[in-house]
Amino acid sequence: MKIKAIFSDLDGTLLNDAKEITPGNRAAIEAALAQGHKFIITTGRPLDSAIQQAEALGLTGPGCCLIAFNGAVIYDLGAQKVLFRQTLPLDLVAKVWREAERRGIHIQTYDEEQVLVDPRCDGVEIRNYCRIIHTKYRVIPDISAVTEEPPKLLLIHYQSEDGALESFRQWLMSWCAGQLDTFYSSPQLLEVVCAGMNKGSALLRLAELLGVEQADTISIGDSGNDLAMIQAAGTGVAMVNGVEEVRAAADRVTVRDNNHDALAEVLEALVL
């Protein structure tokens, strides 16, 4: 039997709308791990939040890893150590931060344990974000207070229909092409990472570290930030509840959604 590496997004994929794992998904993952396959949580969430979620799901033993910050950090849950980390240069962080400030768009970054915002952004966006992913935040006086390179920046704008985030993304891509990459993890969330950092590049990097061939990798996701790993995997699977661009790029689309054991459907068809 060839060992498979299964890369699963969290929100909208592994987790249902109540942010819980369904019994069917849990049983299928446990069966896959028992057979020696690898299971990798692959998320845009910060590392501390992703580890907490993995612990709550009981996915911390041998064969379990996670990809956090949309590919900027790879972590071995069994060994409890970082395998890879890519950070943003502070001069680029400051430039992006100042432009978001000028445009009145919420922006945040991260240290090892929490989210960082300046006083302007200490509002509903950061509170909702931290409540949803079960993490904490700290208010810094200004972006100049950040002295260690962070893995990513995140812009939040709830009025996505007004085009403010897309306008910002267009500015960013014209200004820093080849230095930074951007993608949406939802219509309200714009991710900013180093060029080349995404879930797809992390999938390939981790598969090599695990000794798993690319053809034996499976990815499952639903949002724009999952597109790269859908394209990079040996078999890319889109959730039926996923966005159109992800469904169009996938090798297959689930019949069930994230509330009805879609991950179990995938594992039963491709792994077990």
| In the chain, where the domains are located | 5-86+197-270, 90-194
Please write the tens of the pLDDT for every residue from 41-66.
Answer: 999 999 999 999 899 888 998 889 99
How far apart are the C-alpha atoms of 71 and 66, rounded to whole Å?
9
The CATH architecture one would assign to domain 5-86+197-270 is: 3-Layer(aba) Sandwich (3.40)
What is the reported pLDDT for 162? Answer: 87
Q: Which residues of the chain, if any, have pLDDT below 50?
A: none
Q: Using DSSP, state whether 58 is helix, strand or coil.
A: coil
Residue 121 amino acid letter: C
Q: Name the token pair of 25.
A: 């998904």
pTM for the complete prediction? 0.90
Pick the CATH number of 90-194 from 3.50.50.60, 3.30.1240.10, 3.40.50.720, 3.40.50.1820: 3.30.1240.10
Cβ-in-10-Å burial (0-12, 13-18, 19+) of 230 comes to buried
